[in-house]
Amino acid sequence: MEKYKIKPGAIVDLKKWDPNDKSVFPISKKEGKQKLLQLNQELEGLQELLFAEGKHKILIVLQAMDTGGKDGTIRHVFEGVNPQGVKVASFKAPTRKELAHDYLWRIHKHTPGKGEIVIFNRSHYEDVLVVRVHNLVPEDIWSRRYEHIKAFEKTLIDEGTTILKFYLHINQEEQKERLQARLDEPHKNWKFSRGDLEERKLWDQYQEAFETALGKTSTETAPWFVIPANRKWYRNLVISTIIIEKLKSLKMSFPPPEEDLNDIVIE
């Protein structure tokens, strides 16, 4: 999976990343879905181990253009995983109370505790993405935030959090098809917003903002992965594999049982 990882200090040009790539899993969609079921079971077991051991904290950050597949990734990658140990935090426009604090205030309280996986559906990166594109604050303010974010993530890591950051990479044509599907399919109408069309007009500005954010904030300990996301099944396979590999690397084990359990008789 190293091919999808952004090296620290790299200059990112998203035009050079193929959103249709499937070179790591050169298989059919049907085969991909079957493999994902196997990975779901493996992830379910690892999440139970993580929760039982109660030592590690996992933060997963999902960012994407509109229709990029954040919700679908959560639904399919974590299918069957015990919700007791997995939480999702979604960050929309900040409230008046949140705006009265620094921009990281609303983020920190959602970070994982020991034994937890927390998934950020959008995240603190909105403050160098939508804030930048829409000129919500001056450049001299948002341009300082890359260093703030790296320091924030380093604090979490130093305190025992493992961070995985995924940018779900689609192209404009794929976004067009997904937006059209939201209009054409009645059960998806609720997902459509006219505001999405206005945001689509800013595609190039968002791509530039993502390129800067990915390049400036991918570190050895909190790397960004650019995930080919035009094929949803492939996206799910790659993300599942990266998460599973990371969890395995933690060398977790179940806590030892109490002593003398063999002598207990339950009547």
Q: Kindly report the CATH number assigned to the domain that includes residue 137.
A: 3.40.50.300
What's the per-residue H, E or C state across 171-233? CHHHHHHHHHHHHHCHHHHHHCCHHHHHHHCCHHHHHHHHHHHHHHHCCCCCCEEEEECCCHH
pTM for this predicted structure: 0.95
Residue type, position 89, single letter:
A
Residue 66 lies inside a defined structural domain of this protein: yes
Residue 256 lies in a domain: no
The verdict on residue 183 lying in a domain is: yes
pLDDT, tens digit, 9 for 90 and up, residues 140-158 = 999 999 999 999 999 999 9
Q: What is the separation, in whole angstroms, between the first and last Cα of the chain? A: 52
Domain presence at residue 263:
no
Query: Residue 169 pairs with which residues in a beta bridge?
Result: 228
Q: What is the pLDDT along the chain (267 residues), one digit of tens a residue?
A: 899 999 999 999 999 999 999 999 999 999 999 999 999 999 999 999 999 999 999 999 999 999 999 999 999 999 989 888 999 999 999 999 999 999 999 999 999 999 999 999 999 999 999 999 999 999 999 999 999 999 999 999 999 999 999 999 999 999 999 999 999 999 999 999 999 999 999 999 999 999 999 999 999 999 999 999 999 999 999 999 999 999 999 999 999 887 777 777 787
Domain that holds residue 13: 2-23+32-250
Q: Is residue 112 part of a domain?
A: yes
The length of the chain is: 267
Domain presence at residue 169 = yes
In a domain? residue 257: no
Q: CA nearest 76: which of 235, 246, 242?
A: 235
Residue 258 belongs to a domain: no
Total number of domains in the chain: 1
pLDDT of residue 37: 97
9: left (phi over 0), alpha (psi -120 to 50) or beta: left
